[in-house]
Structure formats: C-alpha cells, structure tokens
Amino acid sequence: MRRRGAALASLLLAAMIVLAAVVAYLLWPKSQAAAARPDGMAQTTLGAARMAAKDTECRSSLQQARQALQVHLASSDEPPASLDELRLPESMTRCPVGGEPYVLDPSGPTVRCVHPGHEGY
C-alpha cells in the first residue's frame, strides 16, 4: 500500500512538471525574431495564436465587405460614397485586431484594411 502511494505521488509530480512546462511555453515571451509581426501585438505563443485567429477574421470581414460592394455595383451605376451605404454590420466595418475602420478605396473600387500587416488582405 505504501508503495502504491509513492507511485501515485511520483505520477502527480510528473504531471505537475509537464503542466508547468506547457504553461511556461504558452505564456513565456517569444524571442524578437519569432515575434516579428508588423504591429508587434503578439508577445507570446498564445498571443500569436489569438492574433492569427483575428487576422483570419479580418480577411473574412474584408471578403464579405467586398462582396457587398460587388452586389451594390451590380445594382447601381455609382460606387457608394462611403461604406455606410453597404449597410454592413458594425463588426464587419472595423479591423478586429486594431479597431481601425475599413477604408473604401474608390480606385478599385474595393475595401481595404489599414492595420499594419493587413494591407495585402
């Protein structure tokens, strides 16, 4: 019985060490080379994963805003004067990472994000 207790204690100790290592990996600040985002917003591995998800959200919102713009252009000869005319939900008119409002570029016409690193989305 005493031997079983010692085995359980050593198993718990090993599990706690592994858990501490995983938490340290996720929350430890990344090196400068690894944290090379143009906006410098992700400092940890967990933060980088969160920012990557928000980058994807921004791409998706821009794609939907551009589709709304195409629908508008198909039914009207004039491009919209502002993004408000597309009647998009408020969450799809701003970058989810930095909160900057999307910009209607009349040269395309297209919709762009001005957040650093999102220019090519």
Residue 115 is a binding residue for Zn ion (CB under 5 A)? yes
- Of the ranges 7-15, 65-73, 81-89, 95-103, which one interacts with Zn ion (CB under 5 A)? 95-103
111 touches Zn ion (CB under 5 A): no
Site for Zn ion in 19-58 (CB under 5 A): 58
The answer to whether 48 and 31 have CB atoms below 8 angstroms apart is no
With H, G, I as helix, E, B as strand and everything else as coil, classify residue 119. Answer: coil
Contact 67, 74 (CB under 8 A): no
**Residue 99's closest CA among 44, 41, 47?**
41
Q: What's the min distance (Å) between Cβ of 39 and Zn ion?
A: 9
- Member of 65, 68, 86, 113 binding Zn ion (CB under 5 A): 113
Among 65, 95, 104, 111, binds Zn ion (CB under 5 A): 95
Residue 118 tokens, joined: 């999102």
- Binding residues for Zn ion, total number by CB under 5 A: 5
Q: How far is it, in rounded angstroms, from Cα 121 to Cα 11? A: 48
